[in-house]
Amino acid sequence: MSSLSRDEVARVAGLARIDLTPAELDRLAGELDVIVESVARVSEIATPDVPATSHPLPLSNVFRTDVPVATVDRDAVLASAPAAQDGKFLVPQILGEDS
């Protein structure tokens, strides 16, 4: 059951902003297909009485009390930004999308 097409891989890569060459697309389509098939095999084994698991650790309700902590120094923060102005991160003009 080959489920993942090359086009699908290209689309998902585009959504994730990953630039793939045609050769990479060919290779990854095959490799990802193997992974998808393997997961499908696991689904066959799982019986209906096994609930889907998104979190493997038996943990819930990990909460933090609503008390402020120290913030980071802005100069340090902006020092690692490619560009900054007026205490803000400067980013290139945003094209083709809206706010």
Partner 1 sequence: MSALVDLVDYDEAVARFDPVIGIEVHVELGTATKMFDGAPAGFGEEPNTSVTPVSLGLPGALPVVNETAVEYAIRIGLALNCSIAESCRFARKNYFYPDVPKNFQTSQYDEPIAFDGFVDVELEDGTVFRVDIERAHMEEDAGKNTHVGGSTGRIHGAEYSLVDYNRAGIPLVEIVTRPITGAGERAPEVARAYVQTLRDLFRALEVSEARMERGNVRADVNVSLRPTPESPLGTRTETKNVNSFRSVERSVRYEISRQAAVLDADATVTQETRHWHEDTGTTTSGRIKSDAEDYRYFPEPDLAPIVPDRAWIEEIRAALPELPAARRRRLQGEWGYADAEMRDVVNAGAVELIEATVAAGASPAAARKWWMGELARTAKQQEVELADLPITPAQIGALQSLVDSGRINDKLARQVLEGVLAGEGEPEAVVVARGLEVVSDDGPLLDAIDAALAAQPDLAEKIRGGNQGPIGAIIGAVMKATRGQADAGRVRELVLERLNG
4, 27 Cβ separation under 8 angstroms: no
From candidates 2, 38, 47, 99, binder to partner 1 by CB under 8 A: 99
Taking CB under 8 A as the binding criterion, the range among 20-28, 29-37, 41-49, 84-92 that sits at the site for partner 1 is 84-92
Rounded to a whole number of angstroms, the minimum distance from the CB of residue 3 to partner 1 is 17
52, 39 Cβ separation under 8 angstroms: no
Nearest of 24, 22, 23, 31 to residue 2 by alpha carbon: 31
For 45, which DSSP code?
Answer: H
Q: Does 19 bind partner 1 (CB under 8 A)?
A: no
| Contact footprint for partner 1 (CB under 8 A) | 11-12, 14-17, 54-55, 57, 59-69, 71-72, 74, 77-78, 85-94, 97-99
